[in-house]
Amino acid sequence: MSSLRQVALSLIAFTFFAGGPVTVGADQESFAEAFRNVPMPDGFRVEASQEGPVFANASGMTLYKWPQHKLRNGYSGEPPGSPACYDDVLTVSAGLMSPYPPGISLPHLNKRKSCVDLWNPVTPAEGAQDIGDWTIVERRDGSLQWAYDEQPLYTSVKDQQPGDVLGGTRRRFGGDAPAKRVPVGPPSLHPPGFSIRNSFNGRMLATERGESIYSYDGDTADSSSCRSTCLAKWKPVLGPSLAREQGEWSLLERSPGERQWVFRGKPLYTYVLDSRTWSQKGSDETGWNNVFTQVADAYPSSFKPQHSIVGDVLANSQGKTVYIYNCGEDSQDQLGCDHPTETQIYRLAMCGAGDPERCLEYWPYVLAGENEQAVNRTWSIVWIDRYTGRFADPEQEGALRVWAYRDRPVYTFAGDKSPGDVYGGGTGEWRGQRNGLKAIMLRDDFFGGTL
């Protein structure tokens, strides 16, 4: 347990950089999220990642689960305790997304991969025993697999370094998105009554009801500047009488019996005028900031926030909205199709009616400047074959050096003529969620983080 504590403390010193126009307090910029120490089997550890603390194997590779997800015409993913990712190479569509029926041949059957080709089951060492929420489940061939909270665990072949979370996300996704793989980790170290949600800007703190949490620059752990008329807009987040200080969390006694939660030295508030959950509106008030347990990796310095009628989008240096492509197959194993190592048939259909040249015209890659370098693992520069859409060697003729978000190239849309245009958002199947493109939003006051 003491070694786990050391891990937890060392993670707090792990450095993340502020990115984007999101307003965070200056002292929020260099934190990773603390986590609750939980028993783990030997050979596993916790890594800091953009998705918060995650469990990792001995090599530091992130562990994922594939929870069951309700789709239009049925379910995909794994019910608790029941592995469903095997070495079968699926050949036909599942018909989980209407209106197209099941039984249609999937692409590239001659080189199609199975689920376990892409997702390695995490196998226990000889003689391993259940510990805490870690249990051992049996696969259909009798082999064993680790599960956490009853969900079978996997690593992703996309992850290359400790802390990579290229295989999946904890970001909220709806019933029309694929049944995604989700990084698994220890519980975040926060008191009851709070919750954390992933956003493009980082891991955002809210109450358990989704009310955004804010802090004020002028406050300290021992004093609140928000008194009297200030309280008409700002409601202190109060701890119950049994609340105790722990780690980064402390309590400020505003008046006898009234104790306000303090996180990293700042008393916490909700904003009375917020009309949506997970709002950023309160940060428009001078000196007030949303609270993040960790902020996201910085985007490239050549990118910038851009006002649009939708909110603030991420834009390239010319102010053109930046889009990310999302894809998951309508197969029972819901394999991804949005990464350069995966089939490009779906993307090419959407971006250019199957014609790579039209794709380059309608949805050009965001090219990296000659002198630009990747600044972190989230925003990297990759070489792409301009015709196939797959990774290329730098020496390959016609290869493009492009910006990638989480290893996936980003694009602009030819239909966006002026800075602030977002005419490409929602392009593709299922409103851009399943085989299509969505704008990268930095500030979304209208759609509750669903864009």
Query: What does the binding site for another protein look like in residue numbers (CB under 8 A)?
Result: 72, 92-93, 97-101, 103-107, 176, 275, 307-311, 330, 345-346, 349-350, 352-354, 358, 415, 420, 422-423, 425-432, 435, 445-448, 450-451
Nearer to another protein, 11 or 350 (CB): 350
Spatial contact of 214 and 291, defined as CB atoms under 8 Å apart: yes
* Least distance in angstroms from the C-beta of 109 to another protein: 9
Nearer to another protein, 62 or 331 (CB): 331
Nearer to another protein, 8 or 22 (CB): 22
* Least distance in angstroms from the C-beta of 44 to another protein: 38
Nearer to another protein, 40 or 179 (CB): 179
Rounded to a whole number of angstroms, the CA Rg of the chain reads 23
* Least distance in angstroms from the C-beta of 181 to another protein: 22
Sign of the CA dihedral running 428, 431, 434, 437: positive
Report cis status (omega within 30 of 0) of the bond before 101: no
Three-class DSSP category at 144: strand
Q: Which run of H or of E encompasses 400?
A: strand 400-405
| C-alpha to C-alpha distances, 314 to 19, 39, 393, 408, nearest whole angstrom | 11, 40, 28, 16
Nearer to another protein, 248 or 355 (CB): 355
* Least distance in angstroms from the C-beta of 76 to another protein: 16
Residues in the chain: 451
Type of residue at 427: T
* Number of DSSP helices (H) and strands (E) in the chain, helices first: 4, 30
Nearer to another protein, 2 or 275 (CB): 275
* Least distance in angstroms from the C-beta of 92 to another protein: 8
Q: What would the two tokens of residue 13 be?
A: 């010193």
Nearer to another protein, 281 or 386 (CB): 281
* Least distance in angstroms from the C-beta of 103 to another protein: 4
Nearer to another protein, 366 or 422 (CB): 422
* Least distance in angstroms from the C-beta of 209 to another protein: 18
Three-class DSSP category at 366: coil
Type of residue at 382: V
- Residue 14 Cα to chain centre, angstroms: 18
Three-class DSSP category at 403: strand
Nearer to another protein, 122 or 422 (CB): 422
Residues 6+ apart with CB under 8 A from 98: 72, 73
Three-class DSSP category at 338: coil
Sign of the CA dihedral running 231, 232, 237, 241: positive
* Least distance in angstroms from the C-beta of 343 to another protein: 10
Q: Give the residue among 47, 61, 57, 83 at the shortest CA–CA distance from 186.
A: 47
* Least distance in angstroms from the C-beta of 179 to another protein: 17
Type of residue at 201: N
